[in-house]
Chains A and B, each alone.
Chain A
């Protein structure tokens, strides 16, 4: 990375009539591998490197980027960003919330460096996982493993004097389409994400052989013993994966301030929370047990960062607190509009994308119940440990989750597996029904989609077991 070109961009921007400018550069070493049905389809290794400039001038925003590291290109990029900002010609001028300058360096340590593991070693590790998937006595007709690692060096400077350097290694394995056929029937694990910010030690944490072997056993048992659920109102216990997706979809997304203000209206949509609407800060949305936190600073989490892409220090955001809408996810633009401060939620996936409001690691705060206590007084209900199909409307209120691994609960005990139980409900109904939360939190990684062009950012989602009373399951 040529930091002098990044600094040069900032100096050029300063020479223009602007309110604010920042320059950001990323150098990323990327490795990708696809293992399809036990064979290495392709191994890709590359270095991506480029820089961008964002300028606020006359109340308009302009952004330009390039991966051509020359001073001539820097001039072109700055001029383009400035022109785009000036051409916005907004009636209500964009402002950024006040922030202090930060000068710091931060990095994530790898216990075992990804770059020190040989290509052969990486392939071998993935092949071992593939073998584990195939180790069960069933007919696995397809499975694919996708591996990705990124080693990202980032440099950020702005006209307020911030200078931030960082190094972040990330690693991800995504099994998809694990499909088994028995007796003419088919079951499938569509996707599962494993993400980690750190080094090769991720594999020790994930225990992928154990995890995916279990997933195959779950599919197999579902094919052999799965029963349909008798639709009706009943108690539902959600496992960390289901709690996590619900936190992400029906709390994290609607609490993004850019959505609330309408900036995503044509793509990812708006929010059921909006100025002058029935839901705002202080409105009840769940039971007292529902506190949902988005925290970028959880060590080794997939969504980990210490400073966001506007140079703001990360901190936990208490989105829903004791069932009440508490704090939105903010960047500097939304914070200025809403009369508050940024809480460090501005993220970008690369040098060629603007930073927008994003989640990091979103989870339900644990309660004080043991897992036994969660189940023991349920006469009849469903335990949904994981999900397959899911979706939610574009104001983040009407949602559905379909169980992948799920069981009938009778008199506090887990019984037969249930085939594809569905909860199709609203945000408020879901969170108001929570009457029990266990002590132990689990996390599941995901890639969150938002932005145009799309920016998939690494996140974690999670929580403890959550018990919902009297919800409709079909």
Chain B
């Protein structure tokens, strides 16, 4: 057993010795690096190293938590935590944490991500790719981010394991002119196959097409979503799939289990697989993660659960435990049978939207919302891009959007961007019919 694992176990045992019912200690040693750039230059290089042990302790259905930094003050911290548990209030709905010994998949983290010698080269590669599409005179900004985490988990209920998680992400937004921009991302768990030029090309291609945008119009449109845009929508569906948000009525999926919520071509699952920037082998309780089908052929199949919420819903944990609430790790929408070109051919009058931000809800239970498309927005007439647009808002209902999906592409992209396309997803192009667009009046 490694020294770190031994220290983590010591924390768990300290909690048990004090009289706790359950204790889970998870130590994360994380190395995070980021280069931020704008106006084609590096603005700042940022590095943050984190040495934290997260502790969950329960006593007579009282749930308390703390963090220990760099294994400092273990005994007083645990004593204080147990005291807090005794002062806390019973939650009769609390259903425990996962029990048993598990054999986890072997972590496949890429250690070379820790030692990238000249990370700025990736940025310049992406900028150059955008320039090849638009021309030399561009203004580009974004980030290059790398993550390497070593995770050590010990639970008094049996689970014990080690994980290593790695990721590299590049995000680039390229401007040809002030209102002519495109955004591309490149996300990978490993340096192998990481292609920053792909993100630059995407950003450049969209920015070039976005020439001379006109003010858009209000109305109902068929809409083709770029995978980056759709990644934001998948994030909204995924969040609402968490049992926590179902229980708090912050979800359109409450009371819809087993019901049809979309057409048969829609299957959405969660899978923090090896390729994902959110790769992992166990959740925060130590339950093994696995592929979880959330919506199967249009039918709501499960919420995302930890052990406690699963008990409330009379089911099993799906391996999505966070400390307080279950959340999806990495969403996947199953590929469809269309090409992007076929989606355009199928669109008499519609829009092609490439990115969005600021998605907000009037009412999370009903799903009325709006989001603001940004970067390239294009009017399609008879299958062809007619003109470039700006200044519109997609103002509809998120269940209606799901129900109106008419086409899904074969091609999918692994996307993750800032707080918008989050959590990461494997996202296709999506065609949805009859969606409301509004604009300032």
Which residues of chain B are near A426, meaning CB under 8 Å? 440
A 407-422 to B, binary, CB cutoff 8 A, 1 in contact else 0: 0000000000000100
Which residues of chain B are near A161, meaning CB under 8 Å? none
Main secondary structure of the interface of B (DSSP, over half): strand
Q: Which of B81, B90, B363, B365 counts the most chain A CB atoms within 10 A?
A: B363
Q: Is the CB of A474 within 8 A of B441?
A: yes
Q: Is the CB of B418 within 8 A of A452?
A: yes
- What distance in Å separates the Cβ of A400 from its nearest Cβ neighbour in chain B? 7
Q: How far does the alpha carbon of A110 sit from the alpha carbon of B128 in the complex, in Å?
A: 55
**Is B178 part of the binding interface, using a Cβ–Cβ cutoff of 8 Å?**
yes
Given A36-B247, A65-B48; A44-B440 close (CB under 8 Å):
no
- What distance in Å separates the Cβ of A119 from its nearest Cβ neighbour in chain B? 4
Interface size on A, residues (CB 8 A): 94
- Of A207-215, A260-268, A306-314, A372-380, the one contacting chain B is A260-268
Q: Is the CB of B38 within 8 A of A262?
A: yes
Which residues of chain A are near B72, meaning CB under 8 Å? 69
Q: Which residue from chain A places its CB closest to the CB of B173 in the assembled complex?
A: A266
Q: How far does the alpha carbon of A90 sit from the alpha carbon of B36 in the complex, in Å?
A: 12
**Is A206 part of the binding interface, using a Cβ–Cβ cutoff of 8 Å?**
no
**Is A137 part of the binding interface, using a Cβ–Cβ cutoff of 8 Å?**
no
**A452 touches which of B36, B41, B175, B183 (Cβ 8 Å):** B36
Q: How far does the alpha carbon of A44 sit from the alpha carbon of B325 in the complex, in Å?
A: 13
Given A45-B81, A262-B38; A67-B69 close (CB under 8 Å):
yes
Q: Which of B64, B183, B360 counts the most chain A CB atoms within 10 A?
A: B360
**Is B137 part of the binding interface, using a Cβ–Cβ cutoff of 8 Å?**
no
Q: Is the CB of B364 within 8 A of A188?
A: yes
Q: Which of B27-77 contact A (CB under 8 A)?
A: 34-36, 38-39, 41-52, 62-67, 69-70, 72, 77
**Is B324 part of the binding interface, using a Cβ–Cβ cutoff of 8 Å?**
yes
Which residues of chain A are near B324, meaning CB under 8 Å? 34, 41-42, 44
- What distance in Å separates the Cβ of B22 from its nearest Cβ neighbour in chain A? 13
Q: How far does the alpha carbon of A76 sit from the alpha carbon of B42 in the complex, in Å?
A: 22
Q: Is the CB of A36 within 8 A of B248?
A: yes
- What distance in Å separates the Cβ of B278 from its nearest Cβ neighbour in chain A? 15
Which residues of chain B are near A81, meaning CB under 8 Å? 47
Q: Which of A41, A76, A92 counts the most chain B CB atoms within 10 A?
A: A41
A 12-48 to B, binary, CB cutoff 8 A, 1 in contact else 0: 0000000000000000000000101101111111111
A 114-151 to B, binary, CB cutoff 8 A, 1 in contact else 0: 00001110010001000000000000011110000000
Q: Is the CB of B45 within 8 A of A39?
A: no
**Is B371 part of the binding interface, using a Cβ–Cβ cutoff of 8 Å?**
yes
**Is A424 part of the binding interface, using a Cβ–Cβ cutoff of 8 Å?**
yes
Q: How far does the alpha carbon of A46 sit from the alpha carbon of B56 in the complex, in Å?
A: 12
Given A39-B91, A42-B64; A402-B248 close (CB under 8 Å):
no
**Is B419 part of the binding interface, using a Cβ–Cβ cutoff of 8 Å?**
yes
**A424 touches which of B35, B90, B441 (Cβ 8 Å):** B441
Q: How far does the alpha carbon of A64 sit from the alpha carbon of B361 in the complex, in Å?
A: 37
Given A50-B69, A177-B248; A63-B441 close (CB under 8 Å):
no
Q: Is the CB of A67 within 8 A of B51?
A: yes
Which residues of chain B are near A474, meaning CB under 8 Å? 441
Q: Is the CB of A68 within 8 A of B374?
A: no
Which residues of chain A are near B418, meaning CB under 8 Å? 266-267, 452, 454
Q: Is the CB of B143 within 8 A of A43?
A: no
Q: Is the CB of B360 within 8 A of A389?
A: yes
**A389 touches which of B36, B88, B172, B361 (Cβ 8 Å):** B361
Q: Which residue from chain B places its CB closest to the CB of A180 in the assembled complex?
A: B249
Q: Is the CB of A42 within 8 A of B323?
A: yes
- What distance in Å separates the Cβ of A454 from its nearest Cβ neighbour in chain B? 5
Q: How far does the alpha carbon of A64 sit from the alpha carbon of B33 in the complex, in Å?
A: 9
Given A61-B45, A84-B46, A265-B173; A177-B439 close (CB under 8 Å):
no
B 352-382 to A, binary, CB cutoff 8 A, 1 in contact else 0: 0000011111111110111110100000000
Which residues of chain A are near B319, meaning CB under 8 Å? none
Q: Which residue from chain B places its CB closest to the CB of A333 in the assembled complex?
A: B43
Which residues of chain A are near B193, meaning CB under 8 Å? none
**A187 touches which of B80, B244, B363 (Cβ 8 Å):** B363
Q: Is the CB of B323 within 8 A of A44?
A: yes
Q: Which residue from chain A places its CB closest to the CB of B364 in the assembled complex?
A: A190
- Of A101-109, A192-200, A391-399, the one contacting chain B is A391-399
**A→B interface (CB under 8 Å):** 34, 36-37, 39-50, 52, 60-69, 73, 76-77, 80-81, 83-85, 87-92, 94, 118-120, 123, 127, 141-144, 176-177, 179, 186-188, 190, 261-267, 269-270, 274, 277, 352-354, 388-394, 397-400, 402, 420, 424-426, 429, 449, 452-454, 472, 474
Residue contacts A-B, CB under 8 angstroms, 27 given = A37-B247, A40-B90, A41-B63, A42-B65, A42-B323, A43-B84, A44-B66, A48-B67, A62-B46, A63-B44, A64-B49, A68-B51, A69-B70, A77-B47, A77-B49, A84-B44, A188-B364, A190-B363, A263-B36, A265-B139, A388-B363, A389-B368, A391-B359, A391-B372, A394-B358, A394-B372, A424-B393
Given contacts A73-B49, A391-B358, A424-B393, 17 further A-B contacts (CB under 8 A): A37-B248, A40-B90, A42-B324, A45-B81, A46-B67, A47-B77, A60-B45, A63-B44, A88-B42, A88-B44, A88-B45, A179-B365, A262-B39, A267-B143, A392-B372, A398-B391, A449-B419
The 10 closest A-B pairs by CB, nearest first: A84-B45, A142-B249, A265-B141, A391-B358, A46-B67, A119-B87, A44-B65, A266-B173, A472-B441, A266-B142
